[in-house]
């Protein structure tokens, strides 16, 4: 894995290259993995054109108060299994970061929030498939106080991406697809049209298609596999269970898909267990394995599952 400093649209950044993956991590504002592609391939991440377009205008950035979505992959903080948003979710997520390199990894850590005393970041290393293992973490930077919460990993991908979650347990004679449509949350709403036209439930797969409607669905994936596909490329995000599925994860789900209204962007999300108690100076983390490869037809569940399992175990 080669790591080098570079500028990305006037922002300080790091470029990370392997034989099969090219990524750019913002360190001047973030932390964000703002760009992801195969070498020579098309961009997979959404980048807010108000910040990174040819004629940027920060006043038009997608935001919540002072917080800007920016795009790319971010560390998401949540407090308990009843809600995936809290003020800590947004706090200190757009500021300058510190960088620590060692022999086989690089760690990018965001700023400390002055009230909550937490900071978030990534530790990135190359995996055996030429992809990246990305550990998302939240550190309790207090000198005395406890903090509790969990970590989600949210990749804001290009709106052209089709996103699917592999479901079911091939080792069982009983097959089910535990999923939850989130109808209302934090001022957002899943439309009935999204459910009717963009959400597809298949044997072994929950698939969402690009479209104009807003919607969010949370899905239990026993294999821990969520895949975004566009422009002939498949972006595998693979995770392992870290606790009891029924009690330690939101609605028993470890993945989620969000579609912004108007085909602006889409989100490929995985969740770690909630409500971890974090002592002062300690951290809670959630690791994803990222692998890029050739797109695979959604109807070929056997191949999708085989490739995901091979990537996860290798």
Segment 34-80, tens digit of pLDDT: 999 999 899 999 999 999 998 999 999 999 888 899 999 999 988 76
Q: Which two tokens stand for residue 233?
A: 């490329």
Write out the DSSP string of 56-91. --GGGS-EETTEE--BEEEEEEE-BTTBS--HHHHT
Segment 102-136, tens digit of pLDDT: 999 999 999 998 888 999 999 999 999 999 999 99
Mean pLDDT to the nearest integer, 244-268: 92
pLDDT bucket at 210, cuts 50 / 70 / 90:
very high
Alpha carbon of 192 to those of 99, 160, 220, 221: distances in Å? Answer: 44, 21, 22, 24
Contact between residue 32 and residue 71 where contact means Cβ atoms under 8 Å apart: yes
Which residue ranges form the domains of the chain, and what is each CATH number?
A: 2-313 (2.70.98.10)
Residue 219: predicted pLDDT? 96
* CA–CA gap between residue 310 and residue 314 (Å, rounded): 6
Contact between residue 254 and residue 240 where contact means Cβ atoms under 8 Å apart: no
Alpha carbon of 181 to those of 163, 177, 192, 223: distances in Å? Answer: 15, 12, 10, 20
Share of the chain above pLDDT 70, in %: 98
pLDDT bucket at 81, cuts 50 / 70 / 90:
low
Torsion (CA) 214, 293, 9, 267 in degrees, nearest 10: 20
Segment 9-33, tens digit of pLDDT: 889 999 999 999 999 999 999 899 9
The H-assigned helical ranges of the chain are: 49-52, 87-90, 192-197, 245-248, 301-313
53-58 long-range contacts (CB < 8 A, ≥24 apart) are 56/9
pLDDT bucket at 282, cuts 50 / 70 / 90:
very high
* CA–CA gap between residue 151 and residue 139 (Å, rounded): 11
For the full predicted model, state whether its pTM sits above 0.85. Answer: yes
Neighbour-count burial of 272, counting CB atoms closer than 10 A to its CB (0-12 exposed, 13-18 middle, 19+ buried): buried
Q: Would you say residue 290 has pLDDT above 70?
A: yes
């Amino acid at each position: 894995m080669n790591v080098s400093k570079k500028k990305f649209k006037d922002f300080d950044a790091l470029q990370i290259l392997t034989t099969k993956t090219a990524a750019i991590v913002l360190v001047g504002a973030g932390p964000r993995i703002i760009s992801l592609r195969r070498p020579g391939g098309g961009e997979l991440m959404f980048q807010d054109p108000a910040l990174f377009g040819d004629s940027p205008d920060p006043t038009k950035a997608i935001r919540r108060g002072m917080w800007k979505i920016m795009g790319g992959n971010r560390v998401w903080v949540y407090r308990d299994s009843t809600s995936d948003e809290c003020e800590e979710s947004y706090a200190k997520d757009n500021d300058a970061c510190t960088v620590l390199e060692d022999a086989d990894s690089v760690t990018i850590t965001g700023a400390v929030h002055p009230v909550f005393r937490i900071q978030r970041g990534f530790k990135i290393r190359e995996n055996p498939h030429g992809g990246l293992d990305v550990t998302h973490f939240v550190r309790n930077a207090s000198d005395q106080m406890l903090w509790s919460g969990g970590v989600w990993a949210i990749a804001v991908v290009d709106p052209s991406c089709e996103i699917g979650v592999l479901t079911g347990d091939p080792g069982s004679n009983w097959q089910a697809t535990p999923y939850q449509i989130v109808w209302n949350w934090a001022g957002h709403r899943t439309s009935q049209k999204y459910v009717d036209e963009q959400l597809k439930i298949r044997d072994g797969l929950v698939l969402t298609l690009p479209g104009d409607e807003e919607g969010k669905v949370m899905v239990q994936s026993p294999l821990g596999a969520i895949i975004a596909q566009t422009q002939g490329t498949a972006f595998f995000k693979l995770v392992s269970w870290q606790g009891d599925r029924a009690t330690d994860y939101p609605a028993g789900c470890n993945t989620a898909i969000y579609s912004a209204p108007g085909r602006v962007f889409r989100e490929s999300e995985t969740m770690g267990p909630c409500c971890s108690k974090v002592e002062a100076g300690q951290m809670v983390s959630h690791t994803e394995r990222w692998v890029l490869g050739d797109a695979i037809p959604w109807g070929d569940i056997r191949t999708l599952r085989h490739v995901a399992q091979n990537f996860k175990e290798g």
